[in-house]
Amino acid sequence: MKPVRALTLSAVLAALSVLLLFLGSLFDVTDLAAVMVASIFVVLVVIECRGAWPWLLYVSVSVLSFLLLPGRFVSVEYVLFGGIWPILKYWLERLPRLPSFLLKLLVGNALAAFAAWLGLKFFGLEVPSALWLKIAAVVLWEAVFILYDFLLTRLIILWCVKYRSRFRRLFR
């Protein structure tokens, strides 16, 4: 893709990402969902533009979200998970299947643990006192993360098979 078109696509997707993150920051329940939907835009830039464009989109949305959003934790979630994950996924899936899966679990859990630690230290999140609630939260995160990664893979396949040719005709 030509640089001007890649810049235009990245700028539009950055604006949409910040808007989604703003909507997600309005309600505590929707923040992670907004981050996951905003990460789809990074996936599109990874597929269509490659090179430095996904990193530029990630950095620009991260900076804009910290500057503009009222809730800071959704920005932390984007920086530590939603924005960087599609880029890391692209590189990790170049490995054989089993090492790729294990590394994705390791990296995804490390990013989530760091985001949770930041939430506890700086954003006033509370930890439940019951051990079974802590275990349930970890198990729920694992299930959500594996489902998210699986659905993101399916979305990438759908984009490449069905919609990419239509999109490319638009950007000739």
Q: How high is the pLDDT of residue 61?
A: 96
Which token pair is 138? 């970890």
Domain CATH code at residue 11 = 1.10.1760
Domain count, the chain: 1
Q: What is the pLDDT of residue 102?
A: 93
Task: Please state the pTM of the whole predicted model.
Answer: 0.86
Please list the rounded mean pLDDT of every run of 10 residues in the chain (172 residues): 88 95 87 90 92 94 92 86 91 92 91 82 74 83 90 93 85 68
Say what the pLDDT of residue 149 is.
92
Q: Which amino acid is at 91?
A: W
Full domain range(s) for residue 56: 3-170
Nearest partner of 156 among 69, 40, 49, judged by Cα: 40
Burial, 103: exposed, middle or buried (Cβ in 10 Å; 0-12, 13-18, 19+)?
A: middle
pLDDT value at residue 151: 93
